[in-house]
Amino acid sequence: MTTFDLPLPTRGGTDLVPTTDSPQTRKDFSSDQEVRWCPGCGDYAVLAAVQGFLPELGLRRENIVFVSGIGCSSRFPYYLDTYGLHSIHGRAPAIATGLATAREDLSVWVVTGDGDALSIGGNHLIHALRRNVNMTILLFNNRIYGLTKGQYSPTSEVGKVTKSTPVGSVDHPFNPISLALGAEATFVARTVDSDRKHLTEVLRAAAAHRGTSLVEIYQNCPIFNDDVFASLKDPETAPNVIIPLNHGEPIRFGTPDADGSRPHGLFRDPATGAVDIRPVTVANESDVLVHDVHAEDPSIAFAISRLTSFGEMTRAPIGIFRQVDRPTYDDQIRAQVAHETERGVGNLQDLIDGNDHWTIG
Ligand code: SF4
């Protein structure tokens, strides 16, 4: 996968405090806590990538906050030497919304999993996305409940046999990218735990985005759902499974020919200009859809997201699906508060004692 050619707007509030110390390193963001994930868990790779990336923000550690819910990935805040909250199941986006709104000077991150974000916290997630709160959400998707020892999750495939679905799941799974685009999230991306370079590039773009960034991370759980993403990691199969999304480039995939070009692409009808989102063997380069992360209408990004396999991973678009600008919830709330403050400080008791009340009994 190649680097993203994206403008990087300033992230966070205008008052974010830059570090004045000597350059920070990964060590500055690593806590002294013993990491308690199972050997081989994909969470280790994500943690290393995040710890390695955070110095790039150039912020003081006390101005960075990681909020998590419940699940294996939600142990994340313990392992970072920043502020952190290991909060309640599914509620991390709600807590982070309050934090981002009240404290413009913080860089706010949410760490969650497929169960925490999409089952218990599905409601909070979609409202954070539609409101466009200034935060980055890292959604670790291993398609299983790991912490509770292997029950099917909202992203498990139909037919999945687990302790809680002994004869196979009958639930149609969520596609987190489609869900986020359906909620009109302003930044939506997918990456893979084992691809450090790509993961870091996505983190960089997500952190730079002003508004809610949703990053789905395919994360291997070797204990309860091992190798569910193996086809994306095997050099033999990956070129035909991964559809790389790079802004401004034709969307092509497949094992490169001798001249380096890839044989398949997403089709664009040259006569009508209409986009027929389906993989084809490329005849003419001009027929291939050029990826545009800044398209205002999320329909094409949504159509691309639908190419993701629900069961065995035979196809997965990877990269940034959408990045558009929209006013953030927290900026607008702060503007309202500032405006009302200018008009004169209100009195809470007056509000409680207002006209619209009743006496009971
Ligand atoms: Fe990682 Fe799975 Fe172990 Fe949880 S159960 S720590 S996701 S390997």
Instruction: With beta carbons less than 8 A apart as the criterion, state whether 155 and 174 touch.
Output: yes
Q: Tell me if 296 is assigned to some domain.
A: no
Mutate to test the pocket of ligand 1, among 34, 36, 37 (most ligand atoms within 8 A of CB): 37
pLDDT top residue among 352 and 328: 328
* From 90-104, 149-163, 345-359, the region with the lowest mean pLDDT: 345-359
- The answer to whether residue 127 is domain-embedded is yes
Residue 288 forms part of a structural domain: no
Hunting for tokens 């619209």 — which residue is that?
356
Q: What is the pLDDT of residues 18-51, one digit of tens each?
A: 665 678 999 999 999 999 999 999 999 999 999 9
Structure confidence by residue, pLDDT tens digits, 170-181: 999 999 999 999
3-class DSSP state of 59: strand
Q: Residue 302: inside a domain, yes or no?
A: no
- The length of the chain is 361
| Structure token pair of residue 154 | 């909202």
Q: In this structure, is residue 265 part of a structural domain?
A: no
Question: How many Cα atoms are found within 13 Å in the side-chain-facing hemisphere of 4?
Answer: 29
Does the beta carbon of 102 lie inside 6 Å of ligand 1?
A: no
Helices (H) and strands (E) in the chain, counts: 11, 11
Confidence class for position 10, pLDDT limits 50, 70, 90 = very low
| Mean predicted confidence (pLDDT) in 80-94 | 97
Instruction: Read off the pLDDT of residues 326-341 as tens digits, 9 standing for 90 and up.
Output: 999 999 999 998 888 8
Domain span at residue 341? 26-228+327-353
Measured distance CA(165)–CA(87) in Å, rounded: 28
**Ligand 1 and 222: CB distance under 6 A:** yes
Q: Which residue blocks in the chain are alpha helix, DSSP H?
A: 43-53, 92-102, 114-115, 122-131, 176-182, 196-208, 230-233, 238-241, 299-305, 329-342, 348-352
Residue 101 lies in a domain: yes
Number of domain units in the chain: 1
Q: Is residue 244 part of a domain?
A: no
The pLDDT of residue 20 = 55
In Å, what is the CA distance from 149 to each residue of 71, 158, 163, 223, 225?
A: 11, 19, 9, 9, 10
% of the chain exceeding 70 in pLDDT? 93
Which whole number is the average pLDDT over 293-297? 96
Residue range 60-70: average pLDDT? 96
What is the band of 17 on the pLDDT scale with cuts at 50, 70, 90? low
Q: Whose CA is nearest to atom 2 of ligand 1?
A: 221
Is the CB of 35 inside a 6 Å radius of any atom of ligand 1? Answer: no
Average pLDDT, the chain: 91
pLDDT at 223: 98
Answer yes or no: is 209 within a domain: yes
Kindly report the CATH number assigned to the domain that includes residue 215. Answer: 3.40.50.970
E strands, 57-164, where?
64-68, 83-86, 107-113, 135-141
Q: Are 74 and 138 in contact (CB under 8 A)?
A: no
Q: Which of 350, 356, 50, 300 is nearest to 199 (CA)?
A: 50
Q: Is 38 in the pocket of ligand 1 (CB under 6 A)?
A: yes
For residues 95-110, average pLDDT: 97
